Amino acid sequence: MDELSTISDEFRTWWAAHNVRIHHGGVKRFHHPEAGFLELTYQLLDLPGYEERLKFLASWAATGLEAADPAGDRER
């Protein structure tokens, strides 16, 4: 943060304002020097109670191997 504060007046102003919020959805716009203009829409996906199952799916997809089902075949 120190480096950003020394090279960016804009960042220094934002940081001093403590303007930090949780955003549940919106649009982010970027301009990349090679790819050009990008507009990305996002939305918060809150799935309380399903975190372990999502971790299971992520690990399964990452390895490509079958893993033991932590849910024990319930609620299918």
The range of the structural domain enclosing residue 15 comes to 2-63
Other beta carbons less than 10 A from residue 12's beta carbon: 14
Residue 60 has pLDDT above 60, yes or no: yes
List CB contacts of 41: < 8 A, sequence separation 6 or more: 25, 26, 27
- The total domain count for the chain is 1
Residue 37 has pLDDT above 90, yes or no: yes
This prediction has a pTM of 0.35
pLDDT band at 13 (very low <50, low <70, confident <90, very high): confident
- Is 58 part of any domain? yes
List CB contacts of 12: < 8 A, sequence separation 6 or more: 4, 5
Q: 13 to each of 21, 22, 53, 72, how far by Cα in Å?
A: 16, 19, 41, 51
- Is 19 part of any domain? yes
- Is 36 part of any domain? yes
- Is 54 part of any domain? yes
- Is 46 part of any domain? yes
- Is 73 part of any domain? no
